[in-house]
Copies of this chain bind each other. A is one copy, B any other.
Amino acid sequence: MAYESEYPPFYVTVDIVVLAIRDGRLNALAIRRGPGHDEGKWALPGGFVGIDEDLEPAARRELEEETGFSVHRDALQQVGTYGAPDRDPRYLRVVSVAWLAAVPDASAVVAGTDAAHAEWRPVDDLLAEDLAFDHHRILADARDRARVLVDSPPPGTRPLAAAFLPSDEFSLSRLRSVYEAVLGRELDPGNFQRRVKTTQGLVTPTGRREPAAGGRGRPAELFRIRG
């Protein structure tokens, strides 16, 4: 085509803020940068978009390469796009489309995948540090977005909180702990119970109760997301 060379070429990448709840705190997958630019700093996982690949599939592919997880459509959300001319000094121009992914807590998942040196790190801790590239801002934006999504999930979508739960069935206190970790504050157990139960089409009771594991206190009823 006639105009092929008239416009500047860019590299396009996806960066993914992979979120999970660990020990009651919101964690993100971070990769310690090796020798070279921003050495030793934490960075977000990501990679280049393929020549025939749409953006969302590219994010999904990277996520699976890093964690092994295939998440639900609604658990992978575009956060924003970052393209300052100097954001990656290694190349002339890299524009990154940032995504957030909510995955269940699974400590072992990272090992054996691409990101052998990836680690779960509390988001608060990461945000208190100097991250590589513009990943500090990306992480902050992703956390803000996650808070909005957890607080008021768009109608018709699978709530983001569901993606953090390791099992289809869960107690409401488990669900509440997810909300608390994402929002960064404690919620009243009773009010949370009522709010979730009275929200149409959010959870359905299974009738069964939690196997008395730790065993102190009344066993909780088990629920399931969306019928």
What's the Cα separation between A11 and B9 when bound, in Å?
Answer: 5
Q: Establish whether residues A54 and B85, one from each chain, have CB atoms under 8 Å apart when the complex forms.
A: yes
In the complex, whether A187 has a CB less than 8 A from a CB of chain B is no
Q: Establish whether residues B8 and A49, one from each chain, have CB atoms under 8 Å apart when the complex forms.
A: yes
A2: nearest residue on chain B (CB-CB)? B90
What's the Cα separation between A55 and B84 when bound, in Å?
Answer: 7
Instruction: Provide the main secondary structure of the chain A interface.
Output: loop
Number of interface residues, chain A, beta carbon within 8 A: 30
How many copies of this chain are found per oligomer? 2
In the complex, whether A201 has a CB less than 8 A from a CB of chain B is no
What's the Cα separation between A91 and B9 when bound, in Å?
Answer: 12
Instruction: Output the least CB separation between A142 and chain B (Å).
Output: 14
In the complex, whether A95 has a CB less than 8 A from a CB of chain B is yes
In the complex, whether A52 has a CB less than 8 A from a CB of chain B is yes
Given contacts A83-B97, A95-B55, A97-B83, are A10 and B8 in contact (CB under 8 A)?
no
In the complex, whether A93 has a CB less than 8 A from a CB of chain B is yes
A85 partner, pick from B1, B4, B53, B91, beta carbons under 8 A? B53
A50 partner, pick from B8, B53, B82, B91, beta carbons under 8 A? B8
Given contacts A4-B91, A11-B9, are A54 and B83 in contact (CB under 8 A)?
yes
Which parts of A48-101 form the interface with B (CB within 8 Å)? 48-55, 78, 80-85, 90-93, 95, 97
Given contacts A11-B9, A12-B10, A91-B4, are A84 and B54 in contact (CB under 8 A)?
yes
What's the Cα separation between A87 and B97 when bound, in Å?
Answer: 17
What's the Cα separation between A85 and B12 when bound, in Å?
Answer: 13
Q: Establish whether residues A52 and B85, one from each chain, have CB atoms under 8 Å apart when the complex forms.
A: yes
Q: Establish whether residues A10 and B11, one from each chain, have CB atoms under 8 Å apart when the complex forms.
A: yes
Residues of B within 8 A of A3 (CB): 90-91
Interface residues of chain A, those whose CB is within 8 Å of chain B, are 1, 3-4, 7-12, 48-55, 78, 80-85, 90-93, 95, 97
20 additional A-B residue pairs with CB within 8 Å, beyond A10-B12, A55-B82: A1-B90, A3-B91, A4-B91, A7-B11, A8-B11, A8-B48, A8-B50, A9-B10, A9-B11, A10-B10, A10-B11, A10-B49, A12-B12, A12-B83, A12-B95, A54-B83, A54-B84, A55-B83, A55-B95, A81-B97
